[in-house]
Amino acid sequence: MTSSIPFIDLRVQRQRIEADLCRRMDAVLEHGQFILGPEVAEFERRLGEFAGVDHVVGCANGTDALVLSMRALGVEPGDHVIVPAFTFCATAEAVVLCGAVPVFTDVDERTFNLTATTLAAALESCAANAIAPVGIIAVDLFGQAANYDALHEVVGGHDLWILGDAAQSFGGSFAGRRVGSLARVNTVSFFPAKPLGCYGDGGAVLTDDADLAQLLRSLRFHGKGAHQYDNVRIGYNSRLDTLQAAVLLAKLEVFEEELTARQQVADRYSAGLHDVAAVPFIADAARSAWAQYTLLFEPGRRDDVAAALREQGIPTGIYYAQPLHRQTAYREYPVVAGGLPVSEDLASRVLSLPMHAYLDPSLQDRIVELVRAAC
Ligand SMILES: Cc1ncc(COP(=O)(O)O)c(C=O)c1O
């Protein structure tokens, strides 16, 4: 057994940005405006410029970003919301936290995202079962954006909103447009392991809708009206910490270069592994943020590969070993007609390799060799 390497290594990045990071964090400690200090507004503005959207509302985490968005969109208890089953639990959890009901839908076998086909099937199934969903949450799994243009086309005639859960894809793009600008409302997470992560929890909602943004600013601050002690609605305590905004400002400076490096890491993996496993499929129009680099193996083989790498100190991840409709907490919620065979198949075959912008090429060569040998 050799010593193990981290799955995501944040140390090299910290060394690179340390001077800027410390300067920005010291400034916050000095001015002491820890809640909604000037760094939050600056970060919201800079993130909006990066993504090409008019309004960014920082909040406490990516799960809250989903809850706040649905509250702002008017989701009521008992409403139904279509969500993919192959995602992190927060996508469906946020629906339930709003008192609404997730309707689990299958995903595309190549992109792992909702597509026009899977969404049309979900809407048909809802109609056949007298379920009238109010909206759809599309997830950009592992860093690749869903095709929102195609999804919008499917909902064309229906009065439904589409929310983009971009927790994993911020930094990516589709048809030349940045993630964050692809749906009417887009949510991101700054969990430390995300492509753009802070040093704790953080999240944001991105939208071009000024009224929605105003509502979100109220909801994140206890439903405030004209001022902090004017309470006009029931809200949340869900603000992005000033210190985290300072961290994110420092990381945003190097983010574009890191995205290029992540693409190089992904290309290197795919070049070395395409003949022994199914490597990620990225649509022509998409640029992934590579939150994960995820291979598909034949059922049974995946666990052998993971064990062989673990033996050599190389960690792997399984995202996600169970689709949500198989999880204890979500078993009672409706599933579209025909079940979710793709989500179930993917859950039995996915394996993610170490992925970050500073992965050393020689270490990566070793990982490739070990995967090949295990195959
Ligand atoms: C797809 C997806 N949605 C939502 C979230 C929730 O984000 P957070 O952990 O910041 O609450 C995550 C985080 O892992 C995620 O991957």
Q: Is the CB of 13 under 6 A from ligand 1?
A: no
Residue 6 lies in a domain: no
Q: How far apart are CA 4 and CA 362, in angstroms?
A: 15
pLDDT tens digits, 251-278: 999 999 999 999 999 999 999 999 999 9
Q: What is the CATH number of the domain that holds 296?
A: 3.90.1150.10
pLDDT tens digits, 289-318: 999 999 999 988 999 999 999 999 999 999
133 in the same domain as 40: yes
Helix (H, G, I), strand (E, B) or coil at 137: strand
262 in the same domain as 246: no
Ligand 1 centroid, distance to 166 Cα (angstroms): 9
What does the block give as tokens for 177?
Answer: 């447009």
Q: Is the CB of 90 under 6 A from ligand 1?
A: yes
What does the block give as tokens for 39?
Answer: 């760094």
130 in the same domain as 61: yes
Ligand 1 centroid, distance to 61 Cα (angstroms): 8
Ligand 1 centroid, distance to 276 Cα (angstroms): 31
- DSSP sequence for 298-318: -TTHHHHHHHHHHHTT---B-
Ligand 1 atom closest to 193 (CA): 14
The conformation of residue 268, written as its DSSP 8-state character, comes to H
Give the pLDDT band (50/70/90) at residue 4.
confident
* Domain closes at, from 193, 216, 251: 251
pLDDT above 90 (res 157): no
Q: What is the mean pLDDT of residues 305-334?
A: 97
Residue 1 lies in a domain: no
35 in the same domain as 154: yes
264 in the same domain as 222: no
321 in the same domain as 276: yes
237 in the same domain as 273: no
pLDDT tens digits, 22-48: 999 999 999 999 999 999 999 999 999
| Residue 211 · residue 4 · CB < 8 Å | no
Substitution site in 168, 198, 240, 292 for ligand 1 pocket (most atoms within 8 Å of beta carbon):
168
Residue 121 structural domain = 11-251
Q: What is the mean pLDDT of residues 167-193?
A: 98
Start-to-end Cα distance in the chain = 20
Residue 5 lies in a domain: no
286 in the same domain as 243: no
The pLDDT assigned to 2 comes to: 59
Ligand 1 atom closest to 64 (CA): 11
pLDDT tens digits, 235-247: 999 999 999 999 9
146 in the same domain as 18: yes
| Residue 143 · residue 288 · CB < 8 Å | yes
* Domain closes at, from 190, 218, 251: 251
Residue 4 lies in a domain: no
- Total count of domains within the chain: 2
Ligand 1 centroid, distance to 30 Cα (angstroms): 31
Helix (H, G, I), strand (E, B) or coil at 227: coil
268 in the same domain as 244: no
pLDDT above 90 (res 196): yes
136 in the same domain as 265: no
Task: Judge residue 300's burial from the number of C-beta atoms within 10 Å of its C-beta, 0-12 exposed, 13-18 middle, 19 or more buried.
Answer: exposed
139 in the same domain as 48: yes
Q: Is the CB of 167 under 6 A from ligand 1?
A: yes
Ligand 1 atom closest to 61 (CA): 10
pLDDT above 70 (res 205): yes
| Residue 131 · residue 103 · CB < 8 Å | yes
